[in-house]
Structure 1
Amino acid sequence: MQAKYISYQETGSFSKLVLDYINNQEDLSTFYSFRPDMDGLAQALENRHFIGDRNTLSEVLKQQYQHLKPNKSVIKNIELLALENTFTVTTGHQLNLFTGPLYFIYKIVTTINLAIELKIAHPDKNFVPVYWMATEDHDFDEINHVSVDEKNISWIQQTNGATGRLSTKTVAAAVLAYKGYLGISKNGKRIAKLVEQAYLEHDNLADATRFLVNNLFERYGLVIVNADDARLKKQFAAIITTDIIDENSSKIIEETSKKLEQNGYKSQVNGRDINFFYLKDELRERIILKDENYTVNHTDISFTTEELKAEIDAHPERFSPNVVMRPMYQEVILPNIAYIGGGAEVAYWMQLKANFDFYKVDFPVLLLRNSALLIDKRSAQNIYSLGFELEDFFLSAEELKNIWVRKNSTAQLSLADETRAINSIFDQIKLNAYKIDKTLSVSTDTAKQKTNHLLANLEKKLFRAEKRKHEVALLQIDNVKKRLFPNGTLQERILNIAPMYVNYGEDFLSSCIENFEPLGGDFTLLLPS
Structure 2
Amino acid sequence: MKAITVPFKTTGFFSKTMTDYLDRDPKTTPFYHRFPELANFRAQIDEKQASFSPDTRAVLVKALEGQYQTTTVSAATREHLSKLANPTTFTVTTGHQLNLFTGPLYFLYKIINAINLAEELAQQFPEYHFVPVYWMATEDHDFEEINYFNFKGKKVTWNTGQTGPVGRFSTEGLDEVASIFAEHLGTSKNARALKELFHKAYAEKATLAEATRFLANELFGEEGLVIVDGDDSALKGLFRPYVQDELEQQLSHHKVQETIAALEASYKVQVNPREINLFFIKNGLRERIVLEENVYRVLHTDWRWNKEELLAHLEAHPEDFSPNVIMRPLYQEVILPNLCYIGGGGELAYWFQLKAYFEAVGVPFPMLLLRNSVQVMTQKQEEKLQKLNISTEELFLNQHELVKKKVEEQAVVSYDFAQQRATLQEQFATLAQLAKQTDVSFVGAVEAQEKKQLKGLAMLEKRMLRAEKRNQSDRVQRIQSIQDALLPNQSLEERQRNFSEYYLAYGPEFISTLKKELAPLSLAFTVLVLE
Residue 138 of structure 2 corresponds to residue 135 of structure 1: yes
Query: Partner residue of 1:153?
Result: 156
Query: Partner residue of 1:518?
Result: 520
What TM-score, normalized to structure 1?
0.94
- Greater Cα shift, 201-210 or 397-406: 397-406
Query: Partner residue of 1:13?
Result: 13
Shift of 1:447: 5.1
| SS of corresponding position for 2:69 | coil
C-alpha separation between the residues in 1 aligned to 2:373 and 2:44?
A: 24
Query: Partner residue of 2:400?
Result: 398
Q: Is the 8 A contact 1:371 1:523 kept in 2?
A: yes
Residue 64 of structure 2 corresponds to residue 61 of structure 1: yes
Shift of 1:56: 2.0
Q: Is the 8 A contact 1:294 1:303 kept in 2?
A: yes
Query: Partner residue of 1:118?
Result: 121
Shift of 1:450: 3.8
Q: Which amino acid is 2:272 matched to?
A: N
C-alpha separation between the residues in 1 aligned to 2:24 and 2:415?
A: 43
Residue 177 of structure 2 corresponds to residue 163 of structure 1: no
Q: After superposition, give the CA deviation of every residue in 1:346-394 in whole Å (9 maximum; x if it has no partner).
A: 1111111111111111111111111111112332121111112122111
Q: Is the 8 A contact 1:182 1:498 kept in 2?
A: no
C-alpha separation between the residues in 2 aligned to 1:477 and 1:190?
A: 35
C-alpha separation between the residues in 2 aligned to 1:323 and 1:436?
A: 63
C-alpha separation between the residues in 1 aligned to 2:329 and 2:444?
A: 63
Task: Please list, as runs of the form range in 1=range in 2, the aligned pairs for 1:216-235 lying within 5 A after superposition.
Answer: 216-235=219-238
C-alpha change, 1:448 and 1:315, in structure 2 (3 Å) is closer
Task: Please list, as runs of the form range in 1=range in 2, the aligned pairs for 1:207-246 lying within 5 A after superposition.
Answer: 207-246=210-249
C-alpha change, 1:512 and 1:439, in structure 2 (3 Å) is same
Q: Which amino acid is 2:198 matched to?
A: V
Q: After superposition, give the CA deviation of every residue in 1:69-100 in whole Å (9 maximum; x if it has no partner).
A: 12101111111111111000001111000000
Shift of 1:340: 0.5
Query: Partner residue of 2:480?
Result: 478
Q: 1:363 aligns with which of 359, 365, 384?
A: 365
Q: Name structure 1 gaps, 5 residues minimum.
A: none
Q: Name structure 2 gaps, 5 residues minimum.
A: none
Query: Partner residue of 2:291?
Result: 289
Residue 191 of structure 2 corresponds to residue 188 of structure 1: yes
Shift of 1:50: 0.9
Task: Please list, as runs of the form range in 1=range in 2, the aligned pairs for 1:237-316 lying within 5 A after superposition.
Answer: 237-262=240-265, 264-316=266-318
C-alpha separation between the residues in 2 aligned to 1:220 and 1:419?
A: 59
- For these two proteins, the number of residue pairs brought into alignment is 528
Q: After superposition, give the CA deviation of every residue in 1:233-267 in whole Å (9 maximum; x if it has no partner).
A: 111111111211211111111111111112x1121
Residue 47 of structure 2 corresponds to residue 44 of structure 1: no
Q: 1:85 aligns with which of 82, 85, 88?
A: 88
Q: After superposition, give the CA deviation of every residue in 1:179-220 in whole Å (9 maximum; x if it has no partner).
A: 222222211211221110000000000000000111001111
Shift of 1:411: 3.1
Q: Which amino acid is 1:376 matched to?
A: T
Query: Partner residue of 1:71?
Result: 74
Shift of 1:403: 1.8
C-alpha separation between the residues in 2 aligned to 1:296 and 1:431?
A: 67
Shift of 1:418: 6.2
C-alpha separation between the residues in 2 aligned to 1:286 and 1:146?
A: 28
C-alpha separation between the residues in 1 aligned to 2:78 and 2:252?
A: 37
Q: Which amino acid is 2:79 matched to?
A: K
Q: Is the 8 A contact 1:93 1:134 kept in 2?
A: yes
Cα RMSD, aligned residues only: 2.3
Residue 330 of structure 2 corresponds to residue 328 of structure 1: yes
C-alpha separation between the residues in 2 aligned to 1:348 and 1:108?
A: 20
Shift of 1:435: 11
Q: Which amino acid is 1:177 matched to?
A: I
Q: Is the 8 A contact 1:145 1:153 kept in 2?
A: yes
Q: Which amino acid is 2:30 matched to?
A: T
Q: Is the 8 A contact 1:35 1:41 kept in 2?
A: no
What TM-score, normalized to structure 2?
0.94
Q: Which amino acid is 2:7 matched to?
A: S
Query: Partner residue of 1:26?
Result: 26
Shift of 1:226: 0.8
C-alpha change, 1:370 and 1:432, in structure 2 (3 Å) is closer
C-alpha change, 1:336 and 1:422, in structure 2 (3 Å) is closer
C-alpha separation between the residues in 1 aligned to 2:409 and 2:377?
A: 24
C-alpha change, 1:245 and 1:424, in structure 2 (3 Å) is closer
Q: After superposition, give the CA deviation of every residue in 1:378-429 in whole Å (9 maximum; x if it has no partner).
A: 3212111111212211112222212222222223434566667778888999
Residue 374 of structure 2 corresponds to residue 372 of structure 1: yes
Shift of 1:437: 8.6
Q: Which amino acid is 1:505 matched to?
A: G
The alignment-based identity, stated in percent, is 41
C-alpha separation between the residues in 1 aligned to 2:96 and 2:36?
A: 20
Shift of 1:481: 1.4
Shift of 1:436: 9.8
Q: Is the 8 A contact 1:380 1:390 kept in 2?
A: no
Q: 1:501 aligns with which of 486, 500, 503?
A: 503
Shift of 1:516: 1.0
Shift of 1:281: 2.6
| SS of corresponding position for 2:14 | coil
| SS of corresponding position for 1:116 | helix
Q: Which amino acid is 1:87 matched to?
A: F
Residue 39 of structure 2 corresponds to residue 35 of structure 1: no
C-alpha change, 1:457 and 1:315, in structure 2 (3 Å) is same
C-alpha separation between the residues in 2 aligned to 1:277 and 1:248?
A: 16
C-alpha change, 1:186 and 1:441, in structure 2 (3 Å) is same
Query: Partner residue of 1:95?
Result: 98
